Structure 1
Amino acid sequence: MRNALLGITCLASVAALSTGAPALAADYRFTPSLVVGQEYNDNLFQNARSPVTDYVTRVQPNLALKADGGGFAAALSYGIDYRYFAKGSRSDEFDHRASMTGAFKFLDDFLHLDLSDSYSRVSTDVVRDVVTESLVVNQTLQNNALISPYVTWRLPGDSSLKTGYRYRDTRYWSGLGIDKQEHDGFATWSKEVKEGLVFSTYYSYARVTTSMNNLDLHQVYAGLRYDYRPGTFIYGNLGYDWQRFDNGASMNNPFWDVGAGHDFGVVNAAAGTKVQYAEDPQTIITRTVTHYASLNRSFSRGSAGFNASYSKFDKQQRAAGEVQKKIYLGLNGRYELLPVLAMTMNLSGDRLQGHRGSEYPYHMTGGVGLDYSLGDHVVLGTNYTYITYRNSFGSTLGGVEANRVIVEMRLTR
């Protein structure tokens, strides 16, 4: 059943929040919120030939509950996103968002149980995340649930062994995605060699089942992490994985996660390279290799950041040779013009190599926004965003352009 894990997570979290002596010792926080806004979009469907203009009214109430203490931490939130399209480009829509997490400890921190479930909109293609720039384009509804019991063994010599099981269930609505179920057994051994220096090893076996094919995945790695001081660290995990599909295909790959960060005082820098298997609605498994760097600086009245990355997306079990590469650059900043008035700015662009025929190689966005605080609980905000997809960096010919203007009021308790 699609909602089975959602119900299990909800019931377990509610039970912890409402019953038992440990729950009485927890700290609770209930936060209702409401966002009411109006959006103008001159190319709602991001179409190059026949752009559609519409005005979208949005009403977004949300309820959130958090509790921590007494051997558990739990958080639940539920929101509705009502959308009214004034010019009738789409019918009225009700979107639902839900997020639930629970972490429970028993027997003096020996036995653990982690639960989570999220229901939200995601992009149908992991190569370009478009959820923040569009209400309707290339998106699907995803439910991702996780149940993970595990035990932590305290061993001699400042070392520990964590052994456990994970069950993950990922499902998509509207037929735009491949449903997946995963059974995963894992073991992690770690030892603090000296203060701030930790050595660890990891092994996992996962069985992934889908309507397309099934997969056995083995992963093993060893790694070190050294936290020299706050804001300064270095770590490296090196390993190997083995993939065996039921249709006879097999793949063996090295994988890694290596990174470092340093606080120079005037700027905080980080860089790294990693391999990960991100959830992809279009495939059973997508191997992503990413090299990244970032610079961030905080000011007395704001902050600024720069991000750069080069990623390679290998959509395995898809068409032969379907590998995409993406270069991404991004700038962002926030500055308090007045104690009650803040300005935000962002500029980003990416370039695809190996893109499919329906995709544009260049994608750029830029935006500026203002937030005006009317008090501790009410903020008026406005934001302008320009979005463009192009065949050539310097020309809009045959490309897509969209302008979004959003005005909204945000209320929190």
Structure 2
Amino acid sequence: MNMNFKTTSLAAAVSAALCANAWALDPQSIKLADGIRFTPSLEVSERYDDNFRANEYNEESSWITRLSPSFELAVDGDKSAYRLTYLADSDIFHSSHDDDNTDHHLTGDAGFEFDARNRLVLSAGYHKVEETATQDQTLENDKYTTSNIGGVYTYGARTARTQFELGANYEELRYQNSNHINADKERDSTALRGTVFYRVAPKTRLLVEARHTDYDYIDNRNRDSDNIALLGGVTWDATAKTSGTVKLGGERKRFDRSGISSKSSAMWEAGVKWMPRTYSTFSLDARRGLDEGEETASSIESMRTTLGWEHEWSDRLASTVSYSYTDNEYQNYPREDKIKVLGLGLTYQVRRWLDVGLGYKYAERDSSRDGQSYQRNIYMINFNASL
């Protein structure tokens, strides 16, 4: 389920891009009973990060060993399916053992098809994370948890001319830092979405979408606000050699306190894939919208574009290339960040159950605020294994 919540952390973006070269693995499951499968996997990686705190000054480097076991329990029925997944990311910093940490990710999904016209997908998640690249490097690492529960209900047969979707998601963000560090960022958010699809061709649909997200902060009540967005666009499935979704519209952020002015902005979202060959895929992901503020900024007007290329050179060898550019303009605060991330990955499938990957990432942030610019290089080798 995609409710378009903010996931713009650079550390998360770098980590996700580094993990992208594990896509060739073909894991086997353990059959526990009819329709019940258990799938374990393990990723072991060694990386060198020459600026793991993302500092402009006093850069720190380290070799980092990561152990990432994951477990999935799946139950498939005639008209329902369930998934429960647990993933742990344990990082060992060889030059700074005080930064050793383990992230925990627990997610659950359930899908139901009641009849040809009525479908429902439910999802929930809990994530416990520690990040060495923090907003203020003079303080301790950011330590936080997020938990969410939501669902998407769809009305209309898959081949019907008109379909309706209703989505809802509730999320909590809490920090575990000492001395109430980051307490001003803790919040609850409730997101609602309604989308109407109208089929104009066998694989092409027009859409109109309305969204409302309410943000309630625990301590910093000045940031209590709601975002309202209206979008129109088109989505298509494997038409010729492309597939994707493009949405255009506008967004308005309104604060509960009258002393903070509202902010309106153009908004767009696009996700397009082009496959000139069956073994080669180009992708474009772009977004412009209003994100929650940091420091004393009321909000952040963010514009992000990501280009990617995946190419399968043989049955066993594949490569990935990605480049992203983000422009974050802080509102009611004199700061603008421009972030660039370049990623290269190469994966070799030694066996059906074992991949070996090499990766490189270059990250750069050019900030108008002193002390927030940096450059970062990450080199990695990883082994991804399953049954």
TM (norm. structure 2) is: 0.70
Kept after mapping to 2: 8 A contact 1:145/1:170 = no
1:147 counterpart residue number: 150
**1:226 to 2:236 alignment:** yes
Give distance in 2, aligned partners of 1:154 and 1:192: 12
Give distance in 2, aligned partners of 1:113 and 1:281: 33
| 1:95–1:154 distance in 2 versus 1, CA, 3 Å | closer
SS of residue matched to 1:247:
coil
Q: Cα distance, 1:182 vs. partner? A: 2.1
| 1:137–1:302 distance in 2 versus 1, CA, 3 Å | farther
Unpaired stretches in structure 2, ≥5 consecutive residues: 1-32
Q: Cα distance, 1:253 vs. partner? A: 0.6
| 1:222–1:125 distance in 2 versus 1, CA, 3 Å | farther
| 1:352–1:55 distance in 2 versus 1, CA, 3 Å | closer
1:252 counterpart residue number: 264
Q: Cα distance, 1:189 vs. partner? A: 0.4
Where in structure 2 are the equivalents of 1:253-402 lying within 5 Å?
253-265=265-277, 267-276=280-289, 286-300=300-314, 301-316=316-331, 320-335=333-348, 343-367=356-380, 369=381, 371=383
2:77 counterpart residue number: 69
Q: Cα distance, 1:209 vs. partner? A: 0.8
Q: Cα distance, 1:26 vs. partner? A: 7.2
Q: Cα distance, 1:255 vs. partner? A: 0.5
2:22 counterpart residue number: none
Where in structure 2 are the equivalents of 1:166-181 lying within 5 Å?
166-174=169-177, 175-176=181-182, 178-181=185-188
Q: Cα distance, 1:324 vs. partner? A: 0.9
1:375 counterpart residue number: none
SS of residue matched to 2:370:
coil
TM (norm. structure 1) is: 0.66
2:216 counterpart residue number: 209
**1:117 to 2:125 alignment:** yes
Give distance in 1, aligned partners of 2:45 and 2:321: 29
Deviates further, 75-84 or 261-270: 75-84
| 1:231–1:333 distance in 2 versus 1, CA, 3 Å | farther
For 2:149, the aligned partner's letter is L
For 1:167, the aligned partner's letter is Y
Q: Cα distance, 1:251 vs. partner? A: 0.4
**1:27 to 2:41 alignment:** no
List per-residue Cα deviations over 1:311-338 (Å, max 9, x = no partner). Answer: 112345xx61222111222221123578
Kept after mapping to 2: 8 A contact 1:355/1:361 = no
Kept after mapping to 1: 8 A contact 2:228/2:253 = yes
Kept after mapping to 2: 8 A contact 1:224/1:236 = yes
Give distance in 2, aligned partners of 1:339 and 1:111: 35
Give distance in 2, aligned partners of 1:53 and 1:75: 36
Give distance in 2, aligned partners of 1:342 and 1:323: 40
Q: Cα distance, 1:98 vs. partner? A: 2.3
Give distance in 1, aligned partners of 2:155 and 2:293: 31
List per-residue Cα deviations over 1:177-219 (Å, max 9, x = no partner). Answer: 6222223332110011111211111012222111322112111
For 2:357, the aligned partner's letter is T
Deviates further, 154-163 or 44-53: 44-53
| 1:343–1:239 distance in 2 versus 1, CA, 3 Å | same
Q: Cα distance, 1:87 vs. partner? A: 9.3
2:21 counterpart residue number: none
List per-residue Cα deviations over 1:13-37 (Å, max 9, x = no partner). Answer: xxxxxxxxxxxx9721123456789
Give distance in 1, aligned partners of 2:72 and 2:100: 25
Larger radius of gyration: 1
2:8 counterpart residue number: none
| 1:366–1:137 distance in 2 versus 1, CA, 3 Å | farther
Q: Relative contact order: is structure 1 or structure 2 higher (C-alpha 8 Å, sep ≥ 6)? A: 2
Give distance in 1, aligned partners of 2:191 and 2:254: 15
1:198 to 195, 205, 213: 205
**1:236 to 2:246 alignment:** yes
How many residue pairs were aligned? 340
| 1:137–1:360 distance in 2 versus 1, CA, 3 Å | farther
**1:163 to 2:166 alignment:** yes
Give distance in 2, aligned partners of 1:232 and 1:113: 26
| 1:341–1:209 distance in 2 versus 1, CA, 3 Å | closer
For 1:100, the aligned partner's letter is G
For 1:352, the aligned partner's letter is R
Give distance in 1, aligned partners of 2:215 and 2:293: 13
For 1:116, the aligned partner's letter is A
**1:188 to 2:195 alignment:** yes
| 1:158–1:361 distance in 2 versus 1, CA, 3 Å | same
Give distance in 2, aligned partners of 1:340 and 1:30: 15
Kept after mapping to 1: 8 A contact 2:92/2:100 = yes
| 1:30–1:356 distance in 2 versus 1, CA, 3 Å | same
Deviates further, 203-212 or 335-344: 335-344
SS of residue matched to 1:90:
helix
List per-residue Cα deviations over 1:241-285 (Å, max 9, x = no partner). Answer: 111011232001111123543222274223353224567887885
Q: Cα distance, 1:222 vs. partner? A: 0.6
Q: Cα distance, 1:305 vs. partner? A: 2.0
Kept after mapping to 2: 8 A contact 1:217/1:241 = yes
Kept after mapping to 1: 8 A contact 2:305/2:324 = yes
| 1:284–1:119 distance in 2 versus 1, CA, 3 Å | farther
